[in-house]
Amino acid sequence: MALPANAQILVGVMSGTSLDGISAAVAAFSDDASGRPRASLLHYTQRDYTPEERARLAAAMHEGSAREYCRLSADLGVWLGEAAATAMQGAGVAPADVRAIASHGQTLWHEPGHSTWQLGDAARIAECTGCAVVSDFRTRDMAVGGQGAPLVPMADVMLFAHDHEWRALQNIGGIGNVTMVPPASSASDVRVRAFDTGPGVVIMNGVMQRLFNRPFDQDGAIGASGRVLETVVRTLLDLPYLQEAPPKSTGRELFTPAFIDDVIAQCTAAGGSPADVVATATAYTAATIADQYMRFLSEHPHDVVVSGGGAHNPFLVRCLEGAFAWHGERFARPVPHVRLFDDLFFDAEAKEAVAFALLGYLHLTGRPGNVPSATGARAPRVLGALTPVALSEKS
């Protein structure tokens, strides 16, 4: 692939709320004639967590000691560095070719309105890779009154907008989040709407682990075999978070093991089988997304572009199409086309890692990485902190 002469290569690495593993994407960035960044994905890889690693991360979100938090952050830094190095090798780029690693790390705690904490020692990443590291992206937005999330909207606006229509970019990772993006051809001062829609696969995966001892519902097969318990879905839509107006963000602090146990209990009380519980959790995830669009998006998207782990669940995608159709009939609104990110751009699994690579690029070029209308920040800010490469390793 021929890259622009002014292209800068960055590696984005992150670990999401689903705790599947570490995503690492090597991407080349350059500015077009208008100063708008453009990205080319060079390579993507996923480093799956071992059961022991996943268990340590999950346990740390609910209990732990200062010693374990410290050790886990150091170990995670090594894991992130290994994933970045593997991605660089796959792309055929040397450390000297890479401007920086942009690491989101793993969120251990996120309390909107107060503070946030991502693990993953940046110094370890730098030593593993021989590259500079930009990390700690959320804290600066929170320091200026933002929620520290969502941060992917900057990539949605800069890289993935429709040429002429409003577009919703819906990520369904552990948590669901949407960015409502104006047409790329529109005026730059149009406000972007972005927020966490509620659960992504976190409840679905939790139910699968409890009832089937599997990490997720492969291809949505179990959910598709079950029966959706509509009364349970309607009850769960009364969740207070869903009533709150954006800007807002959420995480595993809300969708805890106790929350998942309650979903299972409600389904069981309604006469549901284990497969029915999975079907209901899946339908609930889709219903929360459609519900939030109807409540809080003033513009109606021409299409909804779905990414994240949930995009690989055909049953969830069908539930989402059905939820939009139901709301469209009820409120006489246009029904958006549901499309997969993979079909329009590149492997959707790489999207969030590319988004954080973009934030690293914006940091290095001195440009804001937050979207205040999405996070609630009082002003745009350059995000992240720089850990430089060792002087002996780059001239």
Same domain assignment for residues 275 and 315: yes
Same domain assignment for residues 184 and 306: yes
**pLDDT tens-digit map of 66-110:** 999 999 999 999 999 999 999 999 999 999 999 999 999 999 988
pLDDT at 344 over 60: yes
Q: What is the DSSP letter of 350?
A: G
Contact, 247 vs 376, CB < 8 A? Answer: yes
394 inside domain: no
395 inside domain: no
Tell me what percent of the residues of the chain surpass a pLDDT of 90.
79
Same domain assignment for residues 146 and 165: no
Amino acid, single-letter form, for residue 79: W
Same domain assignment for residues 169 and 315: yes
86 inside domain: yes
Q: List residues forming the annotated binding site.
A: 16-23
Q: What is the CATH number of the domain that holds 379?
A: 3.30.420.40
What residues make up the domain containing 112? 8-151+350-387
Q: Which residues contact 166 (CB under 8 A, 6 or more apart)?
A: 180, 181, 182, 183, 299, 300, 301, 302
pLDDT at 188 over 80: no
Q: List residues forming the annotated binding site for ATP.
A: 16-23
Same domain assignment for residues 325 and 365: no
Same domain assignment for residues 34 and 64: yes
Least confident of 36-50, 188-202, 256-270, 352-366: 188-202
Same domain assignment for residues 318 and 195: yes
- Report the length, in residues, of the chain: 395
Instruction: Report which of 145, 71, 140 is spatially closest to residue 108, judged by C-alpha positions.
Output: 71
Same domain assignment for residues 322 and 380: no
Q: Which residues contact 10 (CB under 8 A, 6 or more apart)?
A: 26, 27, 29, 98, 99, 100, 101, 102, 357, 358, 360, 361, 364
236 inside domain: yes
Contact, 211 vs 277, CB < 8 A? Answer: yes
2 inside domain: no
Same domain assignment for residues 135 and 222: no
From residue 218, alpha-carbon distances to 88, 309, 352, 366 in Å are 29, 11, 21, 42
Amino acid, single-letter form, for residue 377: A
Contact, 391 vs 377, CB < 8 A? Answer: no
237 inside domain: yes
Same domain assignment for residues 191 and 275: yes
C-alpha to C-alpha distance for 350 and 90, rounded to whole angstroms: 14
From residue 331, alpha-carbon distances to 229, 295, 318 in Å are 23, 11, 20
Q: What angle do CA 145, 355, 55 make, to 5 degrees?
A: 85
Q: What is the DSSP letter of 173?
A: S
C-alpha to C-alpha distance for 320 and 308, rounded to whole angstroms: 14
Give the model's confidence band at 18: pLDDT under 50 very low, under 70 low, under 90 confident, else very high.
confident
Total domain count, the chain: 2
392 inside domain: no
Q: Tell me what the mean pLDDT of segment 18-22 comes to.
A: 85
81 inside domain: yes
Q: Which residue has the higher pLDDT, 265 or 150?
A: 265
Same domain assignment for residues 115 and 175: no
